[in-house]
C-alpha cells in the first residue's frame, strides 16, 4: 500500500515541470473524495473560515476512540481487595528498590490501583504532548505544500475548486481543512493505540515513557492478573515483580525531568523531514475506496485501512539518526529498569528468572511502546539493543558503582550511544578525569 501522503523530504530535488502534484486541480480530486466519505465540505469550510492555524489533535476524539476500543474488550472495576493487594506489593517493592538505586522514594498515594479507563484518562495529556511535535511537523509540511502549489492564489478572492461550481476557498481555509483531516486521522490512530495499550499495560509507567507530570507508581490489577495468567507463579510474587518495575520507572522519570522534552525534540527532528504528497494521498484514498476498505459511514475505517502506510518506511539520513536516538533511549530506559529490578530482587523472588524471561519475551513480541511508535513512526526497538542496554547497565554498576550508574541520567548528553553499549568499560573511562592532568598540557 502506498504511503498515505507522507514521504521523506528530498531536499533540493525539483519536481519535473508539468508534473506538479500540488496544483489546485488536484485539490478538486481530494475534495471529491472527502465528499464521498461523507464529509460536508461547505459546512466544514464555513466552520474553518478565517482559521489561520492548523487543527491540533482532539483530546476528546482520542478519549472517545480509546474508550470505544476498551468497551469492546471489557474491563472490571478495582475492588477493595485489589487495593489491599497492590498496596502491599508497592510497599514491599519500594523498600527493596532503595538498595538498588540512589533515586529517592516517591510519596505513596491512595490511588495506587487503576482501572483500564483510569489509565486512559490519566495518560491522555501525556500522549497528546508526546505526539504534538509530529502534528506540528505535519502542519508545516501542509503549509509548504500549499505555498508551492498555490503561490499567491487564494489569499484575497479565494480559489475555485474544479468540480465544486462557484464555491471558492481561501488558501488558509484549504490549509485548515487539510490539517483537520490529517489531525483527525492521527487522533483516530492514537486513540486506537491507546485503547489497545489499556488492555495490556500493567502500570502507569509500563510503557517506559514519562506520560504525566505528576509521576506516581500505580498498577492495573486486571492487567496484572492477565500478565501472570498461565505462569504457575504465586500471584503475590507476580505483583511484587511488576511493582518493582513500576517503582523503578517512576523514580527514573521523577529524577530525569528532561526526558519528556528530549523525546519531543527527537520526534520533532524526525517530523521535520516529512513532506506531503497530494498525488499519494489521492491514490491511497482511491485504492482504499475501490477495494471497499473504507466505509463512508464510518470515519474510523479510513484510519484502519491506511494505518499501515501512513508514513512511508523510507527515511532520510536525518530521520534515520532521529529514530536511532529514540530507539537507543527507549532501550536504555528499559535496560535500566530491568537492571535495577534484578539488583533489588535477585535473592528475594524465587521465580525472578522466569518472571524476567516472560517480561523480555513479551517486550520483544508485544511491547506497548513499540506498538505505538511502530504505528506512528515505523520505529521498531530491536530486542538485541534492549539486551545490550541491560548488559551495559549491569556491567557499568560493577565497573563503577550504583551512584555512578545513576548519575548518567542527569542530562541527555551523558547517555551512551548505541555503539557505546558494547563497551561499558571504555565508556566509563571516557567519563573519568585523570588525577594527573600534566600529560594533557
Q: How confident is the model at residue 92 (pLDDT cuts 50, 70, 90)?
A: very high
Contact 3/309 with Cβ under 8 angstroms? yes
Q: Which residue has the cell 491507546?
A: 194
Does some domain include residue 175?
yes
Residue 311's pLDDT is: 41
Does some domain include residue 333?
no
Residue 85, CB half-sphere, CA atoms under 13 Å: how many? 19
Residue 189's pLDDT is: 83
Does some domain include residue 146?
yes
Residue 161 has pLDDT above 60, yes or no: no
Residue 154 belongs to domain spanning: 1-6+21-76+114-199+275-310
- Residue 276 pairs in a beta bridge with 6
Split into its structural domains, the chain has a count of 1
| Three-state DSSP class for residue 6 | strand
Does some domain include residue 125?
yes
Does some domain include residue 159?
yes
- Nearest Cα to 100, choosing from 344, 330, 264? 344
Q: What's the whole-number mean pLDDT along residues 229-251? A: 97
pTM of the model: 0.80
Q: Per residue in 292-343, pLDDT tens?
A: 766 655 655 655 555 544 444 456 788 888 889 999 999 999 999 999 999 9
Residue 23's pLDDT is: 43
Does some domain include residue 176?
yes
Give helix then strand counts, H and E, for the chain. Answer: 17, 4
Does some domain include residue 426?
no
Q: How confident is the model at residue 194 (pLDDT cuts 50, 70, 90)?
A: very high
Nine-digit cell at 312?
A: 512511508
pLDDT averaged over every residue in the chain = 79
Amino acid at each position: 500500500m502506498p504511503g498515505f501522503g507522507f514521504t521523506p523530504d528530498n531536499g533540493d530535488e525539483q519536481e519535473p515541470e508539468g508534473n506538479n502534484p500540488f496544483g489546485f486541480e488536484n485539490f478538486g480530486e481530494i475534495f471529491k473524495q472527502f465528499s464521498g466519505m461523507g464529509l460536508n465540505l461547505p459546512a466544514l469550510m464555513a466552520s474553518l473560515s478565517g482559521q489561520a492555524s492548523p487543527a491540533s489533535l482532539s483530546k476528546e476524539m482520542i478519549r472517545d476512540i480509546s474508550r470505544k476500543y476498551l468497551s469492546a474488550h471489557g474491563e472490571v472495576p478495582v475492588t477493595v481487595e485489589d487495593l489491599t493487594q497492590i498496596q502491599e506489593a508497592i510497599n514491599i517493592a519500594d523498600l527493596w528498590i532503595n538498595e538498588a538505586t540512589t533515586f529517592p522514594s516517591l510519596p505513596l498515594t491512595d490511588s495506587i490501583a487503576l482501572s483500564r479507563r483510569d489509565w486512559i484518562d490519566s495518560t491522555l495529556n501525556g500522549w497528546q504532548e508526546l505526539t504534538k511535535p509530529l502534528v506540528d511537523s505535519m502542519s508545516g509540511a501542509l503549509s509548504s505544500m500549499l505555498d508551492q502549489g498555490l503561490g499567491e492564489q487564494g489569499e484575497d478572492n479565494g480559489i475555485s475548486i474544479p468540480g465544486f461550481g462557484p464555491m471558492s476557498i481561501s488558501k488558509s481555509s484549504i490549509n485548515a481543512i487539510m490539517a483537520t483531516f490529517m489531525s483527525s486521522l492521527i487522533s483516530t490512530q492514537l486513540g486506537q493505540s491507546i485503547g489497545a495499550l489499556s488492555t495490556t499495560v500493567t502500570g502507569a509507567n509500563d510503557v517506559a515513557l514519562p506520560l504525566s507530570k505528576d509521576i506516581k507508581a500505580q498498577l492495573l490489577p486486571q492487567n496484572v492478573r492477565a500478565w501472570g495468567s498461565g505462569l504457575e507463579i504465586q500471584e503475590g510474587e507476580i505483583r511484587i515483580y511488576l511493582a518493582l518495575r513500576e517503582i523503578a520507572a517512576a523514580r527514573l522519570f521523577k529524577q530525569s525531568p528532561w526526558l519528556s522534552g528530549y523525546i519531543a525534540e527527537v520526534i520533532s527532528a524526525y517530523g521535520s523531514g516529512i513532506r506531503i504528497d497530494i498525488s499519494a494521498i489521492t491514490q491511497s484514498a482511491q485504492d482504499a475506496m475501490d477495494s471497499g476498505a473504507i466505509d463512508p459511514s464510518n470515519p474510523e475505517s479510513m484510519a484502519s485501512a491506511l494505518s499501515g502506510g501512513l508514513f512511508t518506511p523510507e527515511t532520510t539520513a536525518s530521520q534515520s539518526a532521529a529514530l536511532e536516538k529514540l530507539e537507543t533511549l527507549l532501550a536504555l530506559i528499559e535496560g535500566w529498569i530491568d537492571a535495577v529490578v534484578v539488583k533489588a530482587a535477585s535473592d528475594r523472588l524465587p521465580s525472578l528468572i522466569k518472571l524476567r524471561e516472560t517480561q523480555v519475551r513479551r517486550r520483544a513480541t508485544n511491547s506497548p511502546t513499540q506498538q505505538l511508535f511502530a504505528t506512528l513512526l515505523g520505529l521498531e526497538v530491536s530486542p538485541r539493543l534492549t539486551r545490550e542496554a541491560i548488559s551495559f547497565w549491569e556491567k557499568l554498576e560493577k565497573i563503577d558503582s550504583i551512584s555512578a550508574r545513576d548519575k548518567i541520567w542527569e542530562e541527555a548528553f551523558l547517555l551512551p550511544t548505541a555503539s557505546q553499549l558494547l563497551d561499558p568499560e571504555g565508556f566509563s573511562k571516557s567519563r573519568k578525569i585523570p588525577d594527573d592532568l600534566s600529560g594533557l598540557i
